[in-house]
């Protein structure tokens, strides 16, 4: 089933009296339960594409259908609800609150959803257990390794049962061993929890953990390939 459909998506930014094209006629479909890597060199447009897919930015033209809804027709409040309930975000820099425990960091998205304190605690504990941090729930970020901090960020991304997890260069601040552990975790979330994972990376070896790689070059899809594991 098509979870995401992009049709002739273009994105340009003003540049003096003209416009600078970043994305050019991107058309693709991502189905429910896929693990997809979007790969390309710096400046290729992959992060712009991720921002559009994550409802953080809107295309200049074209159509984005998310779970059967045309994103262009949604209000700011509706887009905010999608970002809170449908999409979980994982970033290179972890983006954790520094003087707050892992548990409280994971509870944060649910505060905006009006979920009771008891339910927030229960769901946050489960999410941290799912990412292997049951023994680290009350540690603050400065008491955790980089890999553990990224696990907290992943728990925060999945705690609202969001069906889609966007990961933007999630291993960029990690060493090789930790990067492999985090990528195995994404594979586990995709396989066991049936989350759709969309990963942005410029590293071939990281992209190969996905089941499908979409290569972006100069704002266009150059290759869309299945990965054989």
What confidence tier does 149 reach under pLDDT thresholds 50, 70, 90? very high
pLDDT in tens, 27-61: 999 999 999 999 999 889 999 999 999 999 999 99
Range of the domain at 155: 34-62+77-226
We report the CATH number of the domain holding residue 152 as: 3.40.50.300
145 within some domain: yes
5 within some domain: no
pLDDT in tens, 130-143: 999 999 999 999 99
CA 80/CA 77 separation, integer angstroms:
5
69 within some domain: no
pTM of the model: 0.91
Nearest CA to 133 out of 125, 141, 122 is that of 125
CA 61/CA 58 separation, integer angstroms:
9
Q: Which tokens belong to 161?
A: 């049962």
What confidence tier does 163 reach under pLDDT thresholds 50, 70, 90? very high
- DSSP label at residue 141: G
196 within some domain: yes
User: Looking at the 3D structure of the chain, how many domains does it have?
Assistant: 1
* Residue 123 main-chain phi, psi, to 5 deg: -70, -40
- pLDDT score of 50: 92
- pLDDT score of 1: 67
CA 58/CA 135 separation, integer angstroms:
41
Does position 8 have pLDDT exceeding 80, yes or no? yes
pLDDT in tens, 64-114: 999 999 998 889 889 888 888 899 999 888 889 999 999 999 999 888 777
204 within some domain: yes
29 within some domain: no
89 within some domain: yes
14 within some domain: no
pLDDT in tens, 164-218: 999 999 998 899 999 999 999 999 999 998 999 999 999 999 999 999 999 999 9
């Amino acid at each position: 089933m098509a979870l995401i459909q992009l049709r002739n998506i273009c994105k340009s930014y003003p540049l003096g009296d003209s416009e600078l094209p970043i994305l050019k006629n991107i058309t693709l479909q991502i189905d429910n339960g896929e693990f997809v890597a979007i790969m390309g060199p710096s400046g290729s447009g992959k992060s712009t594409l991720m921002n559009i897919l994550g409802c953080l930015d809107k295309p200049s033209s074209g159509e984005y259908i998310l779970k059967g809804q045309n994103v262009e027709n949604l209000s700011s409040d509706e887009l905010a609800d999608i970002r809170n309930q449908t999409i979980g975000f994982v970033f290179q820099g972890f983006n954790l609150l520094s003087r707050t425990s892992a548990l409280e960091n994971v509870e944060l998205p649910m505060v905006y959803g009006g979920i009771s304190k008891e339910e927030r605690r229960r769901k946050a504990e489960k999410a941290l257990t799912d990412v292997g941090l049951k023994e680290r729930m009350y540690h603050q970020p400065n008491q955790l390794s980089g890999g553990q901090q990224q696990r907290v960020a992943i728990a925060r991304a999945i705690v609202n049962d969001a069906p889609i997890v966007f990961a933007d260069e999630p291993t960029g601040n990690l060493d090789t061993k930790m990067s492999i552990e985090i990528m195995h975790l994404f594979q586990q979330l995709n396989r066991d929890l049936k989350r759709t994972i969309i990963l942005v990376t410029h590293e071939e070896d990281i992209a190969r953990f996905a089941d499908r790689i979409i290569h972006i070059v100069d704002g266009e899809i150059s290759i869309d390939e299945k990965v054989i594991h």
